[in-house]
Amino acid sequence: MRITTVGLDADDTLWHNETIFRLTHERFVALLADHADPATLEARLAETEQRNLRLYGYGIKGFTLSMIETAMELTGGEAPASVVREILAAGREMLGHPVETLPGVDEALALLSDSYRLILITKGDLLDQERKLAASGLGDLFAAVEIVSEKNRGTYDRIFARHGTGADEAIMAGNSMKSDVLPALEAGAFAVHIPYAITWAHELADAPADHRRYGKLDSIDQLPGWIASRSRTAA
Amino acid sequence: MRITTVGLDADDTLWHNETIFRLTHERFVALLADHADPATLEARLAETEQRNLRLYGYGIKGFTLSMIETAMELTGGEAPASVVREILAAGREMLGHPVETLPGVDEALALLSDSYRLILITKGDLLDQERKLAASGLGDLFAAVEIVSEKNRGTYDRIFARHGTGADEAIMAGNSMKSDVLPALEAGAFAVHIPYAITWAHELADAPADHRRYGKLDSIDQLPGWIASRSRTAA
């Protein structure tokens, strides 16, 4: 079995992301502390986000709009202007947040790019993801960058056909079981789950029961070895 | 001279868009009528939008956030909750607005797709542009869809190399002199300007002085003929 192409998720796989969302959640909860308890605030925000996904898609702009909407709902439509201003500011700060790559990412990608075609495959806001990739300094290692509205089987079929030699000779690595691992396996690719410290509830899913093309790693620095061993042995 | 590939802009080239933005502008002006005159409101909103482009990029989500920010600025930071709620609702309605293709688009694209590789090249929010393309019923006519954060020379170089036979054998058609015509000409492609009834100030630019690969058309139904004539004669 040959592997020619390595797809990599971006947020929480190459650099910290969910921690930044969590900080903003905490800020949101503090802002509205007079109106509801933290658990209620978190639950309502999650509901709004989930409901708005089909309209806003993924990313910080939609998240900011969902925070404002939730603030309105929790205050009977009368959120103070100061709360709205704070939420706008929080969204802007997220969009300007420095990019901090995860431990081992630079070395692992440098190594992988010697032998494989690397493709960045990520959801989120177009401009924001491009900004983060540029700020990460990793841009030159990728043969292609695909910012997509959803990650499903068709997404991986299309991307690995366009930029590689098909899903059969590709592997996807990322922190989301739901978006990175399961649909890539469905498409016929290898897939490796590298969990991040925190997972957004929306991205949770069960691991595949027993799949020869699936692996779970503690850290991205184990990825080059995992791929090398699979590339040699039969799948 | 051979033309193999036709790039087409989406908003205000294939379907109405700026008219929907104008309606929302009017709604915004009415909402804040007590705080400033229409000209001031429009000018401040345009300033906010322009300032936020590097952060939000193009599209309705960023526009909605810019409307809320402008409302805050024009009310000394004290915009009523009802104004914020109305702006959120206006943004949501824009994202759900029916897609109405411009006259002649279906016929022109059907004709062009018989002889050329069609590529949709558009800015805006990822999910929103995909939604509009799906709703337009034109999706199957395109060999590729590229939703980009900016349209410059490099964008056209890259896209026409990836999906076609290079910019030299490609043409770009769209309603924006600044985004569709000038950078495509710079990349070495043909470019045709098909103005829409209204142009967003941000997209205004002078026409090229005297360029053999440039054309201006009144309607997209003249595009197949224009391309056929150029394809036969030398450039």
pLDDT in tens, A190-229: 999 999 988 887 888 888 888 899 999 999 999 999 999 9
Subunit contact A88:B69, Cβ cutoff 8 A:
yes
Dihedral sign for Cα A207, A211, A212, A213, please.
Answer: negative
Instruction: Decide: pTM greater than 0.95.
Output: no
Q: Residue A129 and residue A123: Cα distance in Å, rounded?
A: 8
Q: Return the residue of B nearest to A93 by Cα.
A: B55
Residue B175's H or E segment, with its range, is: none
Residues of A in contact with B75 (CB under 8 A): 81
Q: Is B30 an 8 Å CB contact of chain A?
A: no
Q: Return the residue of A nearest to B124 by Cα.
A: A126
Subunit contact A72:B79, Cβ cutoff 8 A:
no
Residues of B in contact with A55 (CB under 8 A): 92, 95-96, 127
- B209 pLDDT band, cuts 50/70/90, is confident
Please list the helix, strand and coil fractions of chain A in percent, rounded to the nearest 5, in that order: 55, 10, 35
**Mean residue pLDDT across chain B:** 95
pLDDT of residue A234: 42
The structure tokens listed for B218 are: 């009144």
Which domains can be identified in chain B, with CATH numbers? 5-15+100-234 (3.40.50.1000), 18-95 (1.10.150.240)
Please name the amino acid found at residue B48: T
Q: Residue A56 and residue B64: Cα distance in Å, rounded?
A: 11
Q: Is A76 an 8 Å CB contact of chain B?
A: no
Give the pLDDT mean for A99-124: 97
Subunit contact A72:B81, Cβ cutoff 8 A:
yes
**Mean residue pLDDT across chain A:** 95
pLDDT of residue A235: 42
Q: Residue B156 and residue B66: Cα distance in Å, rounded?
A: 29
Residue B120's H or E segment, with its range, is: strand B117-122
Q: Is A86 an 8 Å CB contact of chain B?
A: no
pLDDT in tens, B152-194: 999 999 999 999 999 999 999 999 999 999 999 999 999 999 9
In angstroms, how far is the first alpha carbon of chain B from the final one? 6
Residues of B in contact with A56 (CB under 8 A): 61, 95, 127
Q: Is B211 an 8 Å CB contact of chain A?
A: no
pLDDT in tens, B78-134: 999 999 999 999 999 999 999 999 999 999 999 999 999 999 999 999 999 999 999
Subunit contact B77:A82, Cβ cutoff 8 A:
yes
Q: Is B125 an 8 Å CB contact of chain A?
A: yes
Q: Return the residue of B nearest to A81 by Cα.
A: B78
Q: Is B76 an 8 Å CB contact of chain A?
A: no
Q: Is B234 an 8 Å CB contact of chain A?
A: no
Q: Is A164 an 8 Å CB contact of chain B?
A: no
Q: Is A198 an 8 Å CB contact of chain B?
A: no
Residue B172's H or E segment, with its range, is: strand B170-174
